[in-house]
Amino acid sequence: MTQMRQTKTLLLTLGRLPKALDLARGFHELGWRVIVAEPFRWHLARVSRCVARSYEVPSPVESSEAYLSAMREIIDKESVSLVVPVSEEIIHASRLRQRLPNDVRMLSMSHETLLSLHDKQSFIAVCRAIGLDAPESAPLGSEAALAISATDDFVVKPIFSCSGNGVSFHAKHAALPIASATPFLVQRRIDGRVLSTFSYAEDGKVATTVVYCGALFSGTVAVAFQRVEQQSATRVEAWVDKFVQATNFSGFISFDFVEDRAGRIW
């Protein structure tokens, strides 16, 4: 029989980003004992007084099995009762869900669900099936992609990417890149203001959403932010609420949007 964990110990799956330090401070203030698992020996959260202990774990990119085994050992050794994935590390950490004891909670959807939503092609399909605005998209090399490039300015992006990696912008009628082994997506470009969100949801209900926009950019990636006015925020929040409810989502979820000149949210 699994022994019930009496202490409130939290495991963060990453410590090198400022958001991890913010989470560590927040949970520490609420009375949690915070543990961090991180592939880098030295990282931002390690030196925080809010972190009780930091573990160096194998890189999940190099060995998923070694990473998951190390994480499970930490959970057992430290009597962890809550696992909080941080940032894109969640794609790897979500595989832990099926390996956890019944008394350990993880703030994550299943690995399969997360993978389908991070896939930019299937994500667009989910949005459109729900009835939410999302730009026309098609796999690079398809007739549908050729049609998009012939009628609109367009964007080419890997179906799996983050931080603007591999993204390129093209004018209407521009030649499409040659299809490669890496799957790419061709998407109609929406002009307007870029907005972003961060939400926490449980069982299809949004507990809180923050809507913000970039104030300072490095290429296509915002590195400083500010909140947006209430009128735009309300439209964005309605989009997020509808998505979360339709997918019965639980955990942290973030989106990037474009607000076009008519105020429509994509």
pLDDT of residue 123: 96
- pTM, 2 dp: 0.85
CA distance 90 to 117: 12
pLDDT of residue 7: 59
pLDDT of residue 1: 36
Closest CA to 60 of 76, 38, 44, 43: 38
**HEC-encoded secondary structure of 136-194:** CEEECCCHHHHHHHHHCCEEEEECCCCCCCCCEEECCCCCCCCCCCCCEEEEECCCCEE
pLDDT of residue 44: 92
Q: Spell 9-21 as b/e; 16+ CB within 10 A means b.
A: bbbbbbbbbebbb
Q: Per-block average pLDDT, block size 10, for the chain (266 residues)? A: 61 94 96 96 94 96 95 96 92 92 93 93 95 96 96 95 86 92 94 94 96 84 85 94 96 94 94
pLDDT of residue 5: 45
